[in-house]
Amino acid sequence: MFALVDCNNFYVSCERAFQNRLKGVPVVVLSNNDGCIISRSQEAKDLGIKMGEPYFKVKPLLAQHGVRVFSSNYVLYGDMSRRVMHYLSSVVPDVEIYSIDEAFLDLRGMERYHGCLTTYAADIRQEVYRRTHIPTCVGIGPTKTLAKLANRITKKKPALGAFFTLIPKRNGSGPWSK
């Protein structure tokens, strides 16, 4: 089994980790030279602000809704990524860093030490948040591709919670579980 741990709205979450007043407020982070939007809080997404939107085009909309705008701070984002990945590397024997805010965890054989993998992943997710204040979603599946798919389903369907597992039933039949 594999898990994909993906940090939510990573650049915005990094800014929020050090500025508590930003929680619950629409926030965007801009690219190099403040050209376009590269990270959005859920509140900003709910306003219809699109990823990659040129800043000059949406500047009036951002001002109208009181959206907080930040220039990108790659030193901060790299440091926060290292903190998340360091913790993940301390709790599973094999971590593949997929991007600055995503990592695959090899969970094969971990059931014998931690029991239910979904519960173990929930504990990992909670500890990442406790240590860094970065929220994450986790997808679990028998392959990295299915873990990525499970993670995508989790992000698109928040009602599922922070987890979605694509784990076949023991007898190999029936739908895959939540």
Helix boundaries (H) for the chain: 10-18, 42-46, 55-64, 74-91, 111-114, 117-132, 144-156
Q: Are strands 27-30 and 68-71 parallel, antiparallel or unpaired?
A: parallel
List residues bridging with 165 in a β-sheet.
140
Judged by DSSP in three states, 173 sits in coil
Residue 43 bears catalytic tag: no
From the candidates 43, 96, 102, 111, give the one annotated as an active-site residue: 102
- The region that residue 113 occupies, defined by phi over 0 for left and psi between -120 and 50 for alpha, beta otherwise, is alpha
CA distance 26 to 93: 37
Catalytic residue positions, numbered: 102
